[in-house]
A and B are shown apart, each in its own frame.
Chain A
Amino acid sequence: MELFWPHRDVVVRTARVLMRHQAEADDLAQETMLKAFRAVDRFEAGTDARAWLLTILRNSRVDRLRSNAVRATVSLEAVVAADAVQESSEPHQYAPSTDPDLILEQFSDAEVIDALQELSEDMRWTLLLIDVEGLDHADAAQILQVPIGTIKSRAHRGRLILRDRLESRAKQMRLIR
Chain B
Amino acid sequence: MSEQDHSDEVTQAISKRLAKLRSRPVDLSTFDARLKAALPPSTDSSRPHVLLWPFVSPLRAVAASLVVGALLAAVVLLSSSSPALATPQRMADIYNSAVDRKNHPTTVSTANEAREVLRRKWPDAPVVPEVQDLQLMHCCVHEIGRKQMACVTFLVEEQPVTLAFASSRDVRSPHGETKVIDGQSFVVGSADGVNMVMSERGGTWMCLMGKLSVERLSEIARTIRD
Once the chains bind, are B21 and A94 in contact (CB under 8 Å)? no
Assembly CA distance A96 to B24 (angstroms) = 30
Q: A159 is contacted by which of B11, B24, B43, B192 (Cβ under 8 Å)?
A: B11
Once the chains bind, are A159 and B35 in contact (CB under 8 Å)? no
Q: B10 is contacted by which of A9, A26, A163 (Cβ under 8 Å)?
A: A163
Asked if B6 is at the interface of the complex by the 8 Å CB criterion, the answer is yes
For B18, list chain A residues within 8 Å (CB). 112, 116, 127, 131-132, 162
CB-contacts of A149-171 with B (<8 A): 156, 159-160, 162-163, 166
Asked if B158 is at the interface of the complex by the 8 Å CB criterion, the answer is no
Rounded to whole Å, the gap between the CB of A57 and the closest CB of chain B is 14
In the complex, residue of chain B having the shortest beta-carbon distance to the beta carbon of A101: B13
Asked if A12 is at the interface of the complex by the 8 Å CB criterion, the answer is yes
Known pairs A30-B31, A92-B10, A96-B6; A37 contacts B39 (CB<8 A): yes
Rounded to whole Å, the gap between the CB of B2 and the closest CB of chain A is 10
Rounded to whole Å, the gap between the CB of B165 and the closest CB of chain A is 25
Contact with A along B9-53 (1 / 0, CB 8 A): 111111111111110101010111011001100010000000000
For A136, list chain B residues within 8 Å (CB). 193
Secondary structure call for the A interface = helix
Asked if A146 is at the interface of the complex by the 8 Å CB criterion, the answer is no
In the complex, residue of chain B having the shortest beta-carbon distance to the beta carbon of A92: B7
Known pairs A26-B30, A26-B34, A159-B11; A94 contacts B17 (CB<8 A): no
Assembly CA distance A28 to B44 (angstroms) = 23
Once the chains bind, are B10 and A30 in contact (CB under 8 Å)? no
Asked if B3 is at the interface of the complex by the 8 Å CB criterion, the answer is yes
Assembly CA distance A177 to B208 (angstroms) = 45
Once the chains bind, are B15 and A159 in contact (CB under 8 Å)? yes
Rounded to whole Å, the gap between the CB of B195 and the closest CB of chain A is 11
For B39, list chain A residues within 8 Å (CB). 34, 37
In the complex, residue of chain A having the shortest beta-carbon distance to the beta carbon of B13: A100
Assembly CA distance A166 to B14 (angstroms) = 9
Once the chains bind, are A132 and B31 in contact (CB under 8 Å)? no
Asked if B1 is at the interface of the complex by the 8 Å CB criterion, the answer is yes
Once the chains bind, are B28 and A160 in contact (CB under 8 Å)? no
Once the chains bind, are A94 and B34 in contact (CB under 8 Å)? no
Asked if B191 is at the interface of the complex by the 8 Å CB criterion, the answer is yes
Known pairs A1-B43, A100-B9; A107 contacts B35 (CB<8 A): no
21 CB-based A-B contacts, threshold 8 Å: A9-B28, A12-B26, A13-B22, A17-B21, A30-B38, A34-B39, A37-B39, A91-B3, A100-B10, A100-B14, A104-B17, A112-B17, A131-B15, A131-B19, A132-B18, A134-B193, A135-B192, A135-B193, A159-B15, A160-B11, A162-B14
Q: Which residues of B are interface residues toward A (Cβ below 8 A)?
A: 1, 3, 6-7, 9-22, 24, 26, 28, 30-32, 34-35, 38-39, 43, 89, 191-193
Supply 8 further A-B pairs (C-beta < 8 A) apart from A103-B13, A162-B18.
A13-B21, A13-B26, A26-B30, A91-B3, A92-B3, A132-B21, A134-B22, A163-B10
What 10 A-B pairs are tightest by C-beta distance, nearest first?
Answer: A131-B18, A100-B13, A104-B17, A9-B26, A159-B11, A100-B10, A101-B13, A131-B15, A132-B21, A91-B3
